[in-house]
Amino acid sequence: MKIVIVGTGYVGLVTGACLAEVGTEVVCVDVNTAKIERLQNDVLPIYEPGLLEIVKRNRQDGRLFFTTDLASALPGAEVVFIAVGTPPGEDGSADLQYVLQVASQIGQLMEHYLVIVTKSTVPVGTAAQVNRAVKNSLDARQRILDYDVASNPEFLKEGAAVNDFMKPDRIVVGVNTAKARQTLEQLYHPFLLNGHPILFMDIASAEMTKYAANAMLATRISYMNDIANLCGLVGADINQVRKGIGSDPRIGKHFLYPGIGYGGSCFPKDVKALMQTGREYGYQLRILDAVEAVNEDQKKLLFGKVLRHFDGDIRNKKFAVWGLSFKPNTDDMREAPSLVLIDSLLEAGAIVSVYDPVAMEEAHGYLGNSVTYAEDMYNAAENAVAVLLATEWNTFRMPDWQRLRSLMQSPLLFDGRNIYDNVQLTQLGFTYYGIGKTTDT
Residues at the contact surface with ligand NAD, assessed by CB under 6 A: 6-12, 29-32, 35, 83-86, 98, 101-102, 120-121, 154, 156, 158, 265-266
| Residue 183 annotated as binding site | no
Residues 422, 426, 429, 432, Cα dihedral to 10°: 50
| Residue 437 annotated as binding site | no
In the complex, least distance from residue 394 CB atom to ligand NAD, rounded to whole angstroms: 20
CA distances to 84, 94, 101, 193, 429 from 121, in Å: 9, 8, 15, 26, 48
- Whether 354 and 374 have beta carbons less than 8 Å apart is answered as yes
Comparison of 101 and 176: residue with beta carbon closer to ligand NAD:
101
Comparison of 119 and 305: residue with beta carbon closer to ligand NAD:
119
- Three-class DSSP category at 18: helix
In the complex, least distance from residue 290 CB atom to ligand NAD, rounded to whole angstroms: 23
| Residue 334 annotated as binding site | yes
Comparison of 59 and 317: residue with beta carbon closer to ligand NAD:
59
Neighbours of 263 (CB within 10 A): 25
Comparison of 29 and 231: residue with beta carbon closer to ligand NAD:
29
| Residue 121 annotated as binding site | yes
| Residue 255 annotated as binding site | yes
Neighbours of 164 (CB within 10 A): 17
Helix pair angle (10-21, 51-60), 10° resolution: 50
The phi, psi pair for 30, rounded to 5°, reads -145, 150
| Residue 158 annotated as binding site | yes
Comparison of 101 and 395: residue with beta carbon closer to ligand NAD:
101
In the complex, least distance from residue 204 CB atom to ligand NAD, rounded to whole angstroms: 17
- Whether 180 and 150 have beta carbons less than 8 Å apart is answered as yes
In the complex, least distance from residue 10 CB atom to ligand NAD, rounded to whole angstroms: 4
- Whether 298 and 284 have beta carbons less than 8 Å apart is answered as no
Nearest residue to 433 via CA among 313, 307, 324:
307
Catalytic residue chosen out of the listed positions 18, 28, 231, 266 = 266
| Residue 210 annotated as binding site | yes
Q: Which residues of 130-153 are buried (b: 16+ CB within 10 A; e: fewer)?
A: bbebbbebbeeeeeeeebbbbbbb
Give the integer Cα–Cα distance in Å for 26 and 73: 9
In the complex, least distance from residue 40 CB atom to ligand NAD, rounded to whole angstroms: 14
266 catalytic, yes or no? yes
Binding residue positions for NAD(+):
30, 35, 86, 121, 158, 269, 334
- Residue ranges of the binding site: 30, 35, 86, 121, 155-158, 210, 255-259, 263, 269, 327, 334
Active site positions, annotated: 266
Annotated binding site for substrate: 155-158, 210, 255-259, 263, 327
